[in-house]
Amino acid sequence: MLSVSDYLTEGKISSPAHLTESWDKINELYSKKLWHQLTTLLQSFVKDESFQKGTTLLELYANFITEFENKINPLSLVEILCPYVIRQFTDSKEALDFLEKIKEKTKGYEEANILCLTAMGSIHLLLKDFDNTKKIMEECEQMLDALPGVTTVHSRFYELSSNYHQIQFNHNEYYKDALRYLGCVELDSIPVTEQQERAFNLGLAGLIGDKVYNFGELLQHPILDSLKGTNKQWLIDLLFAFNSGNIEKMDALKGYWSAQPDLIANEMKLRQKIMLLCLMEITFARPANNRHIDFSEIASKTGIPIDEVEILAMKAMSLGLVQGTIDQVEEKVNMTWVQPRVLDKQQISKMKSKLEAWCLDVNSMEATVANKASDILT
């Protein structure tokens, strides 16, 4: 086995020219025993594209990092190994055994252990071993719940969880965890092609998911910008149409979304969903003191027969999207509440108008009370 000095010299000789300076710096920091600075350098060093293939990083660990791994912060050590070093294993069992040993070495450090577990979960997922993947996810979730706030390891867990739910066609869970993952990472750290894939998958999951009735958070996320100017930009327009309950816009875009197998296969569910969102939008647009909505208005805006309006309203109420009562005699729906949502700019504009109208009413009442004060006091 090579000495550390000989290994670093050979590594420098066999590596691309642009890494020469890094090898020299690594040697210098190791000689001076500057472990923190060396760890920081290694964290960026292992990300170099020249290490995408081959076993250089495995050799780096075996011949160099093992010499001082007990002096490295456990979390930093695992961040170096996962996923950069671990991806150079060609045998999944060897990779799992390696991670198990690292997990044992970092025992007692929750965040480091979670990273090891999520890496193991990703390998099980690639092997389609869904039972072990789920067990690891459950173990990680319990450990994460004990951590204070959101940490750097949350993103790895949500990435694993969202990937699992995507493969299992759990649209609601995928939508939730994929958004959580995006909330824990810097968007610039995700390659553009992956951004586009995630944005498209998120949009599809949101549309198909039977518990997703709020697209505001996704519509405000910059990841959707990755679809602009591509042949999938129509998905952004479709999401805006659903968010505002715009059935006409949905129909206008059918030439695009009907070519997507997942969407056309769920066309009936999509239409039911946008009708519910349309009813929510009708309720939201009304002033709080004027939410007595005629069956005929709902039928006109949703495109359903008037005798099906009551069923639509009951469905919305059962899902907790709105609250109110149904007057069958007067053929009116009396809404008292609509589920809060993340609003887009158009909806915020409506809210602004409603607040301005409310302010005018308050000022008018104030003026009336002032003018009639003497009558009231006497």
Give pLDDT tens digits for 343-373: 666 666 766 776 777 677 777 777 777 777 6
Q: Which residue carries 């500057």 as its tokens?
A: 34
Angle among Cα 150, 151, 152 to the nearest 5 degrees reads 135
pTM for this one?
Answer: 0.86
- Encoding tokens for residue 304? 């359903």
Residues 6 or more apart from 50 whose CB is under 8 A from it? 15, 16, 19, 56
What pLDDT, on the 0 to 100 scale, is given for residue 2? 73
Phi/psi for 245 (5° steps) reads 65, 35
Distance CA 307, CA 299 (A): 9
What pLDDT, on the 0 to 100 scale, is given for residue 319? 95
Distance CA 45, CA 192 (A): 22
Residue 83 preceded by cis peptide, ω within 30: yes
What pLDDT, on the 0 to 100 scale, is given for residue 358? 67
Q: Which residues of the chain have pLDDT under 70?
A: 1, 342-348, 350-351, 354, 358, 373-378
What pLDDT, on the 0 to 100 scale, is given for residue 273? 97
- Encoding tokens for residue 350? 């409506």
What pLDDT, on the 0 to 100 scale, is given for residue 148? 85
- Encoding tokens for residue 160? 């694993």
Q: How far apart are the first and last CA of the chain?
A: 104
DSSP symbols for 186-231: -GGGS-HHHHHHHHHHHHHHHHH-TT----HHHHTSGGGGGGTTST
